[in-house]
Structure 1
């Protein structure tokens, strides 16, 4: 594990920094306020039921199939039309926060790495769900392993989740060879075995290595659950500097002539094409894709997200 004190905090994260993200949990909303469910991350949500529930909601005309025990005889006698009482019941919505801490996330051109931003967003999402009184668990994807914490209504479970995030985040400095495809498949299997129905599944990644398996997974999850994708990108992934430079990792280096306008244009168009294709596929499955970058502060970006939904 890396000694984080040797590195700028925006390259790696720490448990202290992730715990500070709790202050943003009260304001986040990932769904239109026009809907009955105020937020995908809103935790408990109301559902109209025919029958007995927790809270009286309204009186409406009786329709065939309504429980006759809920007929409002006073309103029926006054209007000469059969009316029934409708109740609302709060249903639990446990959540699973899946956060990518693999090698592709260990990049940031100027401010922070994608892995740090993803870790912060995972902390915010987890605290939001807990504040609503629902169970929350987490999955941390690394290059060779995954960590799984089952949903619990317990702050200590969030602390364990964030500790796993920090541990995997700091391991990124080691630059181990990866077999990410196998890890991704194992992750999807674990999540599918854990998630039943009426879950909130939040997946935080750059989605650089998304595949048909990921699309199929999202589609299946969406049938009986709420699914939200949060994509973290860095500006340099789209717009390379207009100068010659060398890019690489621990295994490979390549010289790039950023002064070539055609190359820069091709680079940007390829990024936009991939992003549009990904968002279109998610739209077909009615899965929102929220975008965050490594440059702006988390609070600034949260405000923009709130304005968009």
Structure 2
């Protein structure tokens, strides 16, 4: 079984290739991409030519007879949620890495990045319900404790429901947050919650894909097991109608996810690529653009 130390070692390799994703030298890039969305009142000062009229404090202006404007500072501190699918299907990996290993590695990189930057990190592990929740807290010790739970979890035989997880977050949160939703997204029924949550938060959907599931392999009659309910079925994988139905359903699920207007990252278990430069952490307000680091690879 993968240990937390192994994941941290892998995350450090990713740091190097990403030019310091978890390094304070790139804290400026991190802060720009994950900047706090709220503002706090800071002070009053006299109006200067070019100041926005809407920033004028009319009460102070009326009291003193001179125009004054309000000054604000950005709330830098950010709450980051790592929402991780822990159903049995996440344990699957046909070639290189299992989806569970990649989900844990992604969670390690992101949570330690946030912790080193002074942000509060919360964790939600979900199936068709919330399996574990840790309130957002600061510090690497907090992150390491929860990451150990993720590594050692016993996957429940249940169908994944990202929508229930997002509803849970939206009911608890008091202000806009950054949410990383990690799953294979092999299913449906969560699209509406994902749309609503992405409007209220900065949400990145991270899909972990295994190539063996994109198309059904032709292997004759075989028993297949649904990892989310432990039921086995006899299937003729050479049957063209079964092949077509499988591909059609798989494509439908993928299109449902792709059509949702929210930043996404697509990560494959089969190759060395960890971060897809074309999709990683796009600015939801401009439809894509900002990257944290560059494309990274396992070494």
Would you say same fold, with TM above 0.5? yes
Could you tell me which of 238, 242, 255 is aligned with 2:235? 255
Give the structure-2-normalised TM-score: 0.70
Are the aligned partners of 1:138 and 1:150 in contact in 2 as well (CA < 8 Å)?
yes
Distance 1:105 1:179, change over 3 A: closer
Distance 1:247 1:88, change over 3 A: farther
Aligned-residue offset at 1:119: 1.7
Give the structure-1-normalised TM-score: 0.68
Q: How does 1:118-267 map to 2 (within 5 A)?
A: 118-142=103-127, 146-168=131-153, 171-172=154-155, 177-178=157-158, 185=164, 187-211=165-189, 214-244=190-220, 246-249=222-225, 250-258=230-238, 264=243, 266-267=245-246
Distance 1:298 1:137, change over 3 A: farther
Task: Tell me the distance in 2 between the aligned counterparts of 1:29 and 1:61.
Answer: 39
Aligned-residue offset at 1:146: 0.9
Q: How does 1:1-309 map to 2 (within 5 A)?
A: 4=1, 13-23=2-12, 24=14, 27=18, 42-45=33-36, 52=43, 61-67=50-56, 89-142=74-127, 146-168=131-153, 171-172=154-155, 177-178=157-158, 185=164, 187-211=165-189, 214-244=190-220, 246-249=222-225, 250-258=230-238, 264=243, 266-280=245-259, 282-283=260-261, 287-299=262-274, 301-303=275-277, 305=279, 309=289
Secondary structure of 1:91's aligned partner: coil
1:259-305 Cα distance to aligned partner (Å, 9 max, x none): x566545533432232112221x22xxx2222111112254x34454
Are the aligned partners of 2:263 and 2:279 in contact in 1 as well (CA < 8 Å)?
no
Structure 1, unaligned stretches of length 5 or more?
A: 5-12, 31-36, 54-58, 70-81
- The alignment's C-alpha RMSD in Å is 3.9
Distance 1:157 1:271, change over 3 A: same
